[in-house]
Amino acid sequence: MKDDEIRQGEGILTYSNGNKFVGLFAQDERQGKGKMLSAIGDLFEGSFDHDKIDGKGKFTRQNGDIYTG
């Protein structure tokens, strides 16, 4: 990705620490529905607003524990 490009629409972003976001982008921020998978296997599925988790979602720990709210 070039420095002057912004993320827009559906995509995948892989961070240097191994975390991965799959979902929607708007103006280079995570926006709308998406999934955030940590390098250790934890998964958040839900909504994002202005690059932050927002509203209800489902958090599944790598050990199988699930939190919905």
Structure tokens that stand for 68 in this block:
């919905």
Q: Identify the band that residue 2 occupies on the pLDDT scale cut at 50, 70 and 90.
A: low
Task: Say if residues 11 and 5 touch (Cβ distance below 8 Å).
Answer: no
Q: Which single residue is written with the structure tokens 């929607």?
A: 24
**pLDDT band with cut points at 50, 70 and 90 for residue 5:** confident
Interval 19-58: pLDDT, tens: 999 999 999 999 999 999 999 999 999 999 999 999 999 9
Asked if residue 4 has pLDDT above 70, the reply is: no
